[in-house]
Structure 1
């Protein structure tokens, strides 16, 4: 049987144990958070290093092309198996000639390639980067989005022409919607009574209209 004193001591011990356990858990949680933050920071730092390495290589390659003879330059590419691969880096060197690798280090690599390979399209974006005190992924993305203007859809000119598989073409009259259905009813009656196809009747009708427009037909008044 536990005495009152023993009960008090046991309660204090248990309380101290729980408090210590919570403290250890809290300390461990903080340590894990710091460790995770360091890992995240290191990951982004590595990406920054990649961007800087891309710029350094691009500038170096552009310098080699300028200083070496054409033969030696081609040999340099051949020795490293870079024939054709150098073109995108020369575009980067040209697009970011006014920047240092550190200036655009906070921009992720894919965006660097995107701007350089479409330098004419994004020249305004690249120029505006010169006015920024801090260049990062967010600021570049914002400039790209501002440059995008909604495309104005041009209304296409109606066309009755369709293509066949062999490259020929044929005309196809769009459906005729009328509340009274007069055109359809009249055309069907002509087909039934005269035994002609719809195409033949429409061709005749168009020929008559054309002749009338050209003054070849005269409207005759009924004198009766």
Structure 2
């Protein structure tokens, strides 16, 4: 994909000779392009012009930063009250470096920022734009929609542990629902006749079951003579 932007940058930015006058020229050209947008019959055309201007400015800043010292770069930003505002434009330049401003002119500005701010997430979308004969807002939204795969809902692992206010923990057995209520009635009977708490009985039952699982307890069935 040809990039008209590179020829513009070459004319505006010389790594050795760029000066304040070159930036003034850049501003002048942008102003002239803005004036032309007023002749457009469609407000969408004006919006497309805004997107192209954002990309041109992003590429300009990225090129200036690459070819000049940190001091010169900071001075340029400071003189135009842009210090601290340039980061999002550098992200735009990095995300769309394989495109020309005109290639993406039909994407509305907010979408450009959205893709650039989350370039790692939307890199597959950006890559697919290279294969389109014409990049439109509708096409981009469709690619973004396909990119959003539904998250796999993993079944929550049952847990009996609960936290206390001081950071400790305790186990809590979930409610036991049975039609015949056998477990509940048996437990209540043991509590009443033996004078033990439900916790003590459950702890003892679990210990016996663990012993049986480990082979330390054998189930003996009575034989009838």
TM range (shorter): 0.7 to 0.9
After the TM superposition, which residues 47-196 of structure 1 pair with which residues of structure 2 at under 5 Å, given as runs?
A: 47-196=47-196
Give TM-score scaled by structure 2 length.
0.74
Structure 2 CA distance for aligned equivalents of residues 71 and 39 of structure 1? 40
Whole-angstrom CA distance in 1 between matches of 2:175 and 2:189: 18
**Is the contact between residue 40 and residue 46 of structure 2 (CA under 8 Å) also seen in structure 1?**
no
State the 1:48 CA deviation.
1.5
Structure 2: runs of 5 or more not aligned: 1-37
Deviations 1:93-141 (A, max 9, x none): 0111011111111111111111111112111111111111211110101
Quote how far apart the aligned CAs of 1:49 are: 2.1
Post-superposition shift, 1:163?
Answer: 2.0
Partner of 2:216: 216
- Partners of 1:76 and 1:163 in 2: CA distance: 56
2:106·2:135 contact (CA, 8 Å) conserved in 1?
yes
Q: 1:41 to 1:154 in 2, by over 3 A?
A: farther
Cα displacement string for residues 62-83 of structure 1 (whole angstroms, at most 9, x for unaligned residues):
0111011123223333444444
Aligned equivalents of 1:76, 1:89: Cα separation in 2? 15
Provide the C-alpha distance between the structure 2 equivalents of 1:204 and 1:123, rounded to a whole number of angstroms.
58
Q: 1:94 to 1:166 in 2, by over 3 A?
A: same
Residues 179 and 67 from structure 1, CA distance in 2 versus in 1: closer, same or farther, beyond 3 angstroms? Answer: same
* Greater relative CO (CA pairs within 8 A, separation 6+): 2
Q: List per-residue Cα deviations over 1:200-223 (Å, max 9, x = no partner).
A: 211111112112222222335558
> Which protein shows a greater Rg?
1
Q: Distance in 1 between matches of 2:89 and 2:165?
A: 44
Q: How many residues align?
A: 187
Structure 1 pair 221–48 and aligned structure 2 pair: CA distance change class (3 A): closer
Q: CA RMSD in A?
A: 2.4
